[in-house]
Amino acid sequence: MKLKICGMKLNTSEVAQLRPDYLGFIFWEHSARFFDGEIPELPHTINKVGVFVDADIDYIITLVKKHQLQGLQLHGHESPEYCRQVAEKLMKLNKKIEIIKVFSIKDEFDFESLMPYEDVCDFYLFDTKGKLPGGNGYTFNWSVLKNYPSNKPFFLSGGIGLNSLDKINEFMKSPESKFCYAIDVNSKFEIDQGLKNIEELQKFKEAL
């Protein structure tokens, strides 16, 4: 099981010492975790993911180049055509950059809406529907995923904290976890917005 820690801002180097698989940097100005600094040098095993919300594609490409991002997380209402255009521009950089398309869930979800995205992204990420595009601190009903129709790997996100370990363990025993590729955490491991609790993250990673 892979681990992604999102909302990096204030203590990135310390979090990186835990060697998660992914670190997420939010490039959406309305977020309290908006990142506008320089990403410190990270272990080569960590993939840097830029999180964008309905961003101008040229802005995305500029930040991919600036920060040498290895992944993009599209967290808005990006259409399949938009994702295709992003993928085409990324191909010109001659680098493999993963595209993660986010979908927000509460108590139910129309999985048919995923079908147009099957060929234009590498992963899905399922988050909790809330007031903001992410970092709301609430967990959606994971049993909804029993209707997941795809074999595309997905990230599981939304209000996951130390107290979620038993729930994760149960979920991983279920058929709906078959394509769960990674756990994504953010707000439940913060001392303050953008400042991560290293001790709790270490406990979580070891248990995971």
Give residue-wise pLDDT tens across range 88-119: 999 988 888 999 999 999 878 999 999 999 99
**21 pLDDT higher than 70:** yes
Give residue-wise pLDDT tens across range 131-140: 555 444 568 8
23/49 Cα distance (integer angstroms): 6
- What fold characterizes domain 2-207? TIM Barrel (3.20.20)
pLDDT at res. 133: 55
Paired tokens of 11: 């203590």
| Whole-structure pTM value | 0.92
Paired tokens of 199: 């001790």
For the chain, the helix, strand and coil percentages under 3-state DSSP, each to the nearest 5: 35, 25, 45
65/20 Cα distance (integer angstroms): 22
Decide the pairing of beta strands 195-196 and 98-105: unpaired
**202 pLDDT higher than 70:** yes
pLDDT at res. 132: 59
Domain ranges of the chain: 2-207
